[in-house]
Amino acid sequence: MGLQFKAAVLREAGRARPYAESQPLVLEDVTVEGPGAGEVLVRIAAASLCRSDLSVVTGVRAWPMPIVPGHEASGVVEEVGAGVATLRRGDPVVLVFQPQCGVCPSCLAGDAHLCGPGLAANRAGELMAGGTRLVSGGAPVHHHMGLSAFAQYAVVSEKSVVPMPEGIPLEVGALFGCAVMCGAGTVLNTGGVRPGDTVTIAGAGGVGCSAILGAVLAGAERIVVVDRDADHLDVALDLGATDAVLDEDGTAAARVLELTGGGTDHAFETAGTLGAFETAYNSVRRGGQVVTVGLVDPRTPFALDIAALVTGAKTLRGSYIGSCNPRRDIPRYMALYQRGSLPVDRLITHRLTLAEVNTALDRMSDARALRQIILP
């Protein structure tokens, strides 16, 4: 029979809000056999909600259905499959949404975040070894990003987990699987912010606030945060931003240029909207760097003034999981957290049960939360 447990299953994307009424995610009894070779069974201890999860529910990003969302989580290893050498039963772990095969050209070049086989498995809704492991109502259910963390248990590839050190609460550990890498990691790795640099961050949600913590850690002299919500800006200032710009009328970039005397050295788009990208792009000085993190709707049209890009000598980069190698960077960031230098626990605004996941989606849609922790 295998192990049976509760999971939040999405069978149809695009249902109308409020989600608390339309119930796109339904708790179902899901069955999974024991982990196969190179896989582990993890009891989910904490799963955090990210806007990428919301994009699955809205259908902005297409995924095979049915699927169990959830890609930012922590847990405890309950069982290991054949050939697993780095983990054992009882180990606390962080789940990582980008598995790394270790042998493709990107992995061998040190760019584990660009692992081709890992990306292909994710897009298919499968695990690294191929195929699905979840069954509900006698039919297979797909895995979101190789994890499917909105559940009580998950079978995942050994290559999708990173062991946690002692002393870090599991609910905090969950944040390192996505928010910390995509926010702080982007500032530190992709952006390469150095002491004395100036930074604009367009979007003060969970990833944007993580980016603020990364900019503080990097020693940025000035951290200008732009958002459409005054409450978000208050949080940003509390986390270490030096300036807050309320984007009410589309003139935020001009105000950043005025504040900084010509723009910042770096600008990070962390909201996943075209408006935030345009604000970031227009907020850097000539010769500055623009890094985009958020996943804008792929149908969004965009026109780039190439001549202005040339004369402005700007650098434009995309950042996927903060250009992190999870097995290298997550332990480093956790050590910084333990020393008090990266207080990512301050990103947690709500705690809830798995049965409340649709309400949490509404809260996220209304931008009323940074990181909500599901405790299944």
Closest CA to 10 of 99, 90, 109, 125: 125
Backbone phi and psi for residue 262, each to the nearest 5 degrees, phi listed first: 125, 0
Token representation of residue 132 = 């699905």
Query: pLDDT tens string for the chain (376 positions)?
Result: 689 999 999 999 999 999 999 999 999 999 998 899 999 999 999 999 999 999 999 999 899 999 999 999 999 999 999 999 999 999 999 999 999 999 999 999 999 999 999 999 999 999 999 999 999 999 999 999 999 999 999 999 999 999 999 899 999 999 999 999 999 999 999 999 999 999 999 999 999 999 999 999 999 999 999 999 999 999 999 999 999 999 998 899 999 999 999 999 999 999 999 999 999 999 999 999 999 999 888 888 888 889 999 999 999 999 999 999 999 999 999 999 999 999 999 999 999 999 999 999 999 999 999 999 999 8
Task: Provide the pLDDT for residue 300.
Answer: 85
Residue type at 304? L
- Cβ neighbours of residue 321 under 8 Å, at least 6 residues apart? 97, 98, 113, 178, 181, 182, 185
Task: Provide the pLDDT for residue 1.
Answer: 62
Q: Quick one: CA dihedral 48, 14, 250, 186, positive or negative?
A: positive
Residue type at 127? L
Task: Provide the pLDDT for residue 296.
Answer: 86
Q: 292-303, pLDDT tens digit by residue? A: 999 888 888 888
- In Å, what is the CA distance from 331 to each residue of 78, 170, 215, 303, 346? 21, 14, 19, 40, 19
- In Å, what is the CA distance from 80 to each residue of 83, 156, 267, 277? 8, 10, 43, 43
Token representation of residue 369 = 């939360």
| Domain residue spans of the chain | 3-177+343-374, 183-320
What gap in Å lies between CA 364 and CA 134, rounded to an integer?
Answer: 27
Task: Provide the pLDDT for residue 208.
Answer: 97
Angle, CA of 93, 342 and 288, to the nearest 5°: 115
Homologous superfamily of the 3-177+343-374 domain (CATH): Medium-chain alcohol dehydrogenases, catalytic domain (3.90.180.10)
Count the residues in the chain.
Answer: 376
The verdict on domain 183-320 having CATH code 3.40.50.720 is: yes
Task: Provide the pLDDT for residue 121.
Answer: 96
What is the per-residue DSSP string for 45-97? EEEE--HHHHHHHHTSS---SSEE---SEEEEEEEE-TT--S--TT-EEEE-S
170 alpha-carbon distance from chain centroid: 17
Q: What's the pTM value of the predicted model, to 2 decimals?
A: 0.96
Edge-to-edge strand ranges of the sheet holding 264-269: 243-246, 222-227, 198-202, 264-269, 284-292, 315-318
Same topology for domains 3-177+343-374 and 183-320, yes or no?
A: no
What gap in Å lies between CA 58 and CA 105, rounded to an integer?
Answer: 34
What gap in Å lies between CA 42 and CA 79, rounded to an integer?
Answer: 7
